[in-house]
Structure 1
């Protein structure tokens, strides 16, 4: 299992396994004695079985709508957002919606085709942890996470743009 990078640039062992969506006619295969991230819509469909279980989180694919979990997001210890390819930016919008519109307070994780040059933008959108693509150097990425000291625009990490912060 690959390591993950935390928002502060530290690298830790990944404790969560992403459970793939089952094929039609198959059931969800959640590993025993492991923390598991399952598809968000399947968690919602079986919510009565999963709510309150600290070892079950969810993941969104880039085409999923975060509105499906409105009112339930803070029942989840971890929400992961899949980036199927680095050029697919829908995950940034999902993260901002989860943080700003739905008030998600727990760990928000980026998974999939996550590259070093995206980390700063992901952090500004509200991600806490990052699972890099396996062929990338996680130590180099961790050092680059805090490359920029200030962002110009308002985002989840600051509600004022730089020109307003300077005027204060």
Structure 2
């Protein structure tokens, strides 16, 4: 892997790449060209018409713990939803990713930003996150060296044909012969 690629910010599909998204806010001017823009959730909701009327792709940056329910009518307009993970121990946006994919049917790109560590990536992928803004240098080096973490046993099923149906825990079931009498 080249030194140039090692400096690129976004990990997706097994390699680092450039980030084409331009961060905008209420204080910044929108790019004149149809460059893809990334808007904080509150700003997008306050001026959704302004953003959805322009040419170019739209993305929304969702902070940890922010309510995404008001975003549902606009999901078809959004090509990217970036979910912030402000620190390793803050997992609120795992639930947000699951809501967006499973309940709301969001089919665009979900990106993890912030404190993304190598141990979290398999869990984030399982929630539907497909790209990662990785700043943690040991994680960047591990990804460049194709070292990854594998999780072989999950305690909470997700909606996937490869796993047990949601709401069941086959590893916790007793064989019928050992069940208590009713």
Tell me the TM-score normalised to structure 2 length: 0.72
1:98-144 deviations in Å (ceiling 9; x for gaps): 11111100100000111111111100011010011253452522624
- Who is 1:88 aligned against? 90
Whole-angstrom distance in 1 between the partners of 2:78 and 2:113: 17
Q: CA, structure 1 residues 158+66, in 2 after alignment: closer, same or farther (shift >3 Å)?
A: farther
Whole-angstrom distance in 2 between the partners of 1:138 and 1:82: 18
Match of 2:69, SS state, is helix
- Who is 1:47 aligned against? 48
* Cα shift at 1:17: 3.6
Backbone CA RMSD of aligned residues: 2.8
Whole-angstrom distance in 1 between the partners of 2:75 and 2:107: 8
Computing the radius of gyration from Cα coordinates, the structure with the larger value is: 2
**1:11 paired residue among 16, 20, 25:** 16
Aligned length: 157
More moved, 43-52 vs 31-40: 31-40
Q: CA, structure 1 residues 139+97, in 2 after alignment: closer, same or farther (shift >3 Å)?
A: same
CA contact (8 A) 1:4 1:132 kept: yes
**2:119 paired residue among 117, 121, 140:** 117
- Who is 2:66 aligned against? 64
Name structure 2 gaps, 5 residues minimum: 1-6, 171-182
Whole-angstrom distance in 1 between the partners of 2:147 and 2:52: 36
* Cα shift at 1:156: 5.2
Match of 2:119, SS state, is helix
Whole-angstrom distance in 2 between the partners of 1:98 and 1:9: 23
Name structure 1 gaps, 5 residues minimum: none
Q: CA, structure 1 residues 4+17, in 2 after alignment: closer, same or farther (shift >3 Å)?
A: same
**1:75 paired residue among 74, 77, 80:** 77
Higher relative contact order (CA 8 A, sep 6+): 1
Whole-angstrom distance in 2 between the partners of 1:149 and 1:117: 9
